Structure 1
């Protein structure tokens, strides 16, 4: 894909801030008329720059008061184990994000659960579902910053 021009970056930045904005407001903010703005948004979606539009929810108000970052050390590094692990983590709705890592841990998971009892249940189900060499849990005490918006440069270069 071609690099994003200034208008594309501004559109993406606006949508990351608030995906509910009407096209009229987005087009005004980025300096385009509505039809070209809408065509650019469609192109950004087709090219995979924009991958979805979602509503963000407060985990505490939904009853998910405990966030746990789980470090996983694989029992081995075979393709079979990786495939099994990848399939297993897809079946756990508590797992919000999974990253394959470089360094001391092989995988990092962000897990959202209501409380410690729910995490204990999750832990048992996960370790029963796939062999793991080591699992380390880090419990978040406070979410000090959270964003889903990438710091897109909206300055004219």
Structure 2
């Protein structure tokens, strides 16, 4: 990854807040003219610092009634369990994130489903496809705080 200078970090902060901002506005906010700003954004994209730009959606407006965090401990460590999780993710869009974690459990999954029956079916599929020792599901009751923006130092 390339070294990010102060201007790069300021550009990234602007895009994390609103990826639809016009380049002219971003340039003005970070103290550049349009062309150098646009070139920096292109370089950040080409170098993988900004892999893609997406829109955030309201889960309730999309009919998502169940959001859950599932902690699993696999019975067999290694590539097989991870491959099984990735295969499940590829065919189950409700599995939004998979994290390999340290501690008592091996993986953390974030699942968003339209209803509890759908969530239960996903958990059943998980149990039949991945060599599990233990599965702990935690249903989210309320989102208190949320961001997709990583903290970046933008002070000189």
TM-score where L is the length of structure 1: 0.94
2:74/2:130 contact within 8 Å kept: no
1:85, CA displacement in angstroms? Answer: 2.7
Residue aligned with 2:85, SS: helix
1:80, CA displacement in angstroms? Answer: 2.6
Residue by residue, what CA displacement relative to the aligned partner does 1:19-40 show, whole Å, maximum 9, x if unpaired? 0001110100001000000000
Residue aligned with 1:28, SS: helix
1:116, CA displacement in angstroms? Answer: 1.2
* Matches of 1:77 and 1:32, distance apart in 2: 50
Give RMSD over aligned pairs.
1.2
1:153, CA displacement in angstroms? Answer: 1.1
* Matches of 2:2 and 2:126, distance apart in 1: 41
Q: Does 1:141 align with 2:141?
A: yes
Hey, which bits of structure 1, 4+ residues long, moved more than 3 A?
A: none
Say how many residue pairs are matched: 156
1:86, CA displacement in angstroms? Answer: 2.5
1:3, CA displacement in angstroms? Answer: 2.0
* Matches of 2:47 and 2:79, distance apart in 1: 30
TM-score where L is the length of structure 2: 0.95
Q: Does 1:73 align with 2:73?
A: yes
- Higher mean displacement: 76-85 or 3-12: 76-85
Name 1:55's counterpart in structure 2.
55
Name 2:15's counterpart in structure 1.
15
1:109, CA displacement in angstroms? Answer: 0.3
- Higher mean displacement: 123-132 or 100-109: 123-132
Structure 1: 5+ residue runs without aligned partners? Answer: none
